[in-house]
Chain A
């Protein structure tokens, strides 16, 4: 592996959308690097372009200017072999069982039917859904569906994991539980992660670094490193990190970041 192996570098990326002849700049000269096997949480105001940044990192479309590099080489459109993604809406295919939902990505990437089934069962057991393999998504709770979405992304054994507010649609208790489960999985599989979230506390709990974005057109306001000692929610270090990040976002620590 090269010296940039497993590293995602965002270099002077700007992006604008043109809709109906009107140009809307979304990202403005965004630069940061996520080292291999690190988790970068991207926080910022609603509509500032966090999800756009994620889509650019996935190679779903190209930036208006600047480059994104994975493994030291420019991100290429449509190349997703190294990727796993999970979204705010888990996006489970309702006509497939839970197991088939996890296996379909593996099948798409060339695994045989038996192998895909075995891996899917293994990952569903890992996220505690071994008993629900034959259920359809309509029969799952929001938290369970989100677990399937994460199992589907991780079952691909991605080297780069892109998470777009995966816990935003679940209740607070389930959210905390899923955060703990995700941390355990990330520790086990060690992908490089870009995690977009609105929740600063979540960013501190999950991330190794927090990329704070400004209002649209968004640039990077600050990159805040997060140490192991900051992650204990009951600690003063956590409170300080929370206050520091919120201040960066231009809100008081007693205000909600939405």
Chain B
């Protein structure tokens, strides 16, 4: 690894983390806070290592990731499909726009009471919530990306003999792919936040439930360790989507 690569990939990101940890430790020293209010970074690290050795922790991670993954795929596929219909079909756009434009401002968390009422604290409720969160990001991004495809590409497609649906599938969707890749990362963040938030309020397993339980027994180090895990899993999911997008969009 060259010096520049080492600096960009390791040293600077590490410096960012160290600055946050130093600020955390400095706050503790400055205000003399008790452990139950804000535990020191080392205690959170030790707690995290202990958590990694328990089966319950991994079950909670697996449940959250599974709920997220199913909801993400469902919301993503539906969002792209409906977004394409909005982008391609004027009649559908006119009918769907009022619904989409009003519902997309109703944040997923506002639906949590209803999903609990309808689905209890089950897997289905979490999946619906994640799918809802992801759907609106994807539907808006897809319809806008389709609307802004370079008109020359459309003219070429028509001149080559493509019918409307082939043009939509083979040209417009492919041309929109870079925008959709960015949207997919944004949607992943919102979907992941939605699933954890839903677990805070009602769940039988998952990282959100783990943190709620720890908070109710004043195990603050576990709460923060859980938050760290949420952040790391989210960053990992985002990096995975970014990597997949780069692999598929390498023509650029």
On A, residues with C-beta under 8 Å from B are: 58, 60, 78, 80-81, 83-85, 87, 89, 91, 93-96, 104-105, 108-109, 136-138, 152-153, 156, 162
- Nearest 7 pairs between A and B by C-beta? A85-B159, A105-B160, A91-B156, A91-B152, A136-B251, A80-B161, A89-B152
Q: Closest CB-CB distance, A247 to chain B, in whole Å?
A: 33
B residues less than 8 Å from A83 (CB atoms): 159, 161
Q: Assess A95 versus B174: contact at CB under 8 Å? Given A136-B251, A138-B251.
A: yes
Given contacts A85-B156, A87-B156, A138-B251, 11 further A-B contacts (CB under 8 A): A80-B158, A87-B155, A89-B152, A91-B150, A91-B156, A93-B174, A95-B177, A95-B249, A95-B251, A109-B161, A153-B159
Within the complex, which residue of A89, A104, A136, A137 is in contact with B160, where a contact is CB–CB below 8 Å? A104
A91 and B161 within 8 A (CB): no
B171 and A94 within 8 A (CB): no
Residue in B152, B174, B177 whose Cβ sees the most chain A Cβ within 10 Å? B152
Q: Given the complex of chains A and B, what is the CA–CA distance between A83 and B162 in angstroms?
A: 12
Q: Given the complex of chains A and B, what is the CA–CA distance between A11 and B129 in angstroms?
A: 60
A residues less than 8 Å from B251 (CB atoms): 94-96, 136-138
Interface of B is mostly: helix
B155 and A94 within 8 A (CB): no
B252, CB-defined interface residue at 8 Å: yes
Within the complex, which residue of B158, B174, B175, B177 is in contact with A60, where a contact is CB–CB below 8 Å? B158
Q: Given the complex of chains A and B, what is the CA–CA distance between A91 and B162 in angstroms?
A: 15
Q: Assess A93 versus B153: contact at CB under 8 Å? Given A108-B166, A136-B251, A138-B251.
A: yes
Instruction: Select from chain A the residue with minimum beta-carbon distance to B156.
Output: A91
A91 and B177 within 8 A (CB): no
A residues less than 8 Å from B152 (CB atoms): 87, 89, 91
A91 and B155 within 8 A (CB): yes
A91 and B153 within 8 A (CB): yes
Counted as pairs of residues, one from A and one from B, with CB atoms less than 8 Å apart, the total is 59
Within the complex, which residue of A81, A87, A96 is in contact with B161, where a contact is CB–CB below 8 Å? A81
B residues less than 8 Å from A105 (CB atoms): 160-161
A108 and B160 within 8 A (CB): yes
Q: Given the complex of chains A and B, what is the CA–CA distance between A105 and B160 in angstroms?
A: 5
Interchain Cβ contacts under 8 Å between A and B, 23 examples: A78-B163, A80-B159, A80-B161, A83-B159, A84-B159, A85-B155, A85-B156, A87-B152, A87-B156, A89-B152, A91-B150, A91-B152, A93-B153, A94-B175, A95-B251, A104-B160, A104-B170, A108-B166, A109-B161, A136-B251, A137-B251, A153-B159, A162-B159
Q: Closest CB-CB distance, A230 to chain B, in whole Å?
A: 31
Q: Closest CB-CB distance, A157 to chain B, in whole Å?
A: 13
Q: Closest CB-CB distance, A146 to chain B, in whole Å?
A: 13
Q: Assess A80 versus B177: contact at CB under 8 Å? Given A91-B155, A95-B251.
A: no
Q: Closest CB-CB distance, A67 to chain B, in whole Å?
A: 21
B155 and A60 within 8 A (CB): yes
Residue in B152, B155, B159, B162 whose Cβ sees the most chain A Cβ within 10 Å? B159
Q: Closest CB-CB distance, A3 to chain B, in whole Å?
A: 27
Q: Given the complex of chains A and B, what is the CA–CA distance between A13 and B224 in angstroms?
A: 74
Q: Given the complex of chains A and B, what is the CA–CA distance between A87 and B177 in angstroms?
A: 23
B residues less than 8 Å from A84 (CB atoms): 159
Q: Closest CB-CB distance, A126 to chain B, in whole Å?
A: 19
B155 and A138 within 8 A (CB): no
B residues less than 8 Å from A94 (CB atoms): 175, 251-252
Q: Given the complex of chains A and B, what is the CA–CA distance between A202 and B248 in angstroms?
A: 41
B residues less than 8 Å from A108 (CB atoms): 160-162, 166
A residues less than 8 Å from B159 (CB atoms): 58, 60, 80, 83-85, 153, 162
Q: Closest CB-CB distance, B27 to chain A, in whole Å?
A: 49
Q: Given the complex of chains A and B, what is the CA–CA distance between A93 and B177 in angstroms?
A: 12
Q: Closest CB-CB distance, B58 to chain A, in whole Å?
A: 39
Instruction: Select from chain B the residue with minimum beta-carbon distance to A88.
Output: B152
B residues less than 8 Å from A80 (CB atoms): 158-161
Q: Given the complex of chains A and B, what is the CA–CA distance between A162 and B163 in angstroms?
A: 19
A residues less than 8 Å from B150 (CB atoms): 89, 91
Q: Given the complex of chains A and B, what is the CA–CA distance between A69 and B133 in angstroms?
A: 53
